[in-house]
Structures are given as C-alpha cells and as structure tokens.
Amino acid sequence: MKKKIALAQMTSIADVEKNLQKSLEFIQQAAQQKADLIAFPECFLFLGKDSLYQEIAEDVRGPLVELFQEQARQNDISILMGSFPEKDPENQRKIYNTSVLISRQGKVLETYRKIHLFDVELPDLRLIESETVSAGKKVVVADHEIGKVGMTICYDLRFPNLFQQLNQAGAEIISTPAAFTYQTGKAHWLTLLQARAIENQVYIAAPGQVGHHNKKRRSFGHSVIIDPWGKILALAPEEECLIYADINLETIQEVRRKMPVQSHRVPGID
C-alpha cells in the first residue's frame, strides 16, 4: 500500500515566530495534498547563533512539541519535527539537537537525539556543534503507519554504520533532516544519500535547509526522496517549497529479493 510523504525545504532564520508561521503553512498545504507525513529540516524553528539555542530550548513535553501535536490532530497528518533545541537536564549549558516523530493522532512516537556532532572549521565558516550541543547515544527506529522509520540528523549521514544499525533494527524508511552547508552539500549531499539508500535498501527522506540564513550561513538545500534502488523520486529546487513522493513497502521487498545483500553480510566484518 502506497503512502504519500511531503518534505518541507526551508530557509530558517533567527526568528522562531516567522519560521513557525512558515511551518504551519506547509502543514496545511501538505494536508490539502493528502500527504500522510510531512517532514521538516534540521533547526527548522530557529537557525542562528549557537549561543541563542539555549534561550529557546524546551523539553519534549513543552509547548512547541504540544503545538505540533495539535497540528497533527487538526490536519490529520503525521509530522516529523526535523530537529529543535531540547533542554539537556544534566547540563544547563548545552542542548540536544532532537528530532520528534508525531503520529496523525498527535502522539509522540519517538524522539531521536543527534549522535554525531558537526565540528568543522572552513575558510569562511566555523561550526563547532559540540560546544553547545550534547551528543545523543540511542539508535532509534519508530513504528509508523508508513513503515518502520529510522531516525538520523544531518552529519549522521557521514557514518554508514549508524544506517546499517537502523537497517538491522528493521528500518524501511530513514529520515535525514539536515542543514548541510553549501560547500559540503555541493560536493557530497546527494552522493551520500543515494549510497545510504542503496547500501541499506531503504527509502531515504531528507528535508533540508536552503539558501542564505544570514551573512555567514548558507545551506545547500536539494531536499530529496530516494527509493531503495537509489532512484531519486523527488528533488527540490533551490527555494522554499514542498516536495512529494509515494512510499511503497513492496518496492523494498522486491529490491531486497532481487539483490539479497543483507543475507550476504559476514558476522564480525559487515
């Protein structure tokens, strides 16, 4: 049975209210198109100075998540909050970069805290995520109406072992909300996503940030939905928009039957 998913590509800024308004508009548009799920990118409610994330951080049971739970119920659509700043109860100086999957009934199905933190210094950009963000430790696969959803965030994409663990835990669709920098995205984004889809024979749903967020920060965009054979089903232009594609679990079964890679894994090596 096919399920329709929507990815929201955004140019989020350091203004929660403006980003929130755009998000609510996208939810309504996706619901009108009869999408079963809408997924937002990393940092979709705020993208600005690292030092400011602590000021807007909330608990998963806080008002921001509750708002999206209500939106899911009202619009009869499942929502993936790509990531938002979650308070770290054990370290008041840091937050978690957390993705939340909500059912169309408004239930929080799973939360995932970004495991791999992006620490890099480029010629024109310094991003040291570990200075303000605590790393998650749990691999997460959620039971969802469209299938089993493995959850990752952005920089996790560069670590194939995480995707293999999600695959072995039963993931059929893997979400990768991101805010890939323009420089690294242009070189690696689509190549890595297609590789993860092909290696694990899963659908990849990767909603991204796009364009200039401020004078220093630019994201690559190219939000994309990829099938288990590595075929691109939908690819966003370089602007804020929604893209759509159908998820069909029978396609996964067919690909895995024709190319039984998983049964060829060598214990202790693969």
Active site residue ranges: 42, 114, 154
Cα 234 to chain centroid distance, Å, stands at 16
For the chain, give the secondary structure using H, E and C.
CEEEEEEEEECCCCCHHHHHHHHHHHHHHHHHCCCCEEECCCCCCCCCCHHHHHHHCECCCCHHHHHHHHHHHHHCCEEEEEEEEEECCCCCCCEEEEEEEECCCCCEEEEEECCCCCEEEECCEEEEHHHCEECCCCCCEEEECCEEEEECCHHHHHCHHHHHHHHHCCCCEEECCECCEHHHHHHHHHHHHHHHHHHHCCEEEECEEEEECCCCCEEECCCEEECCCCCEEEECCCCCEEEEEEEEHHHHHHHHHHCCHHHHCCCCCC
How many angstroms separate the CA atoms of 71 and 28, rounded?
9
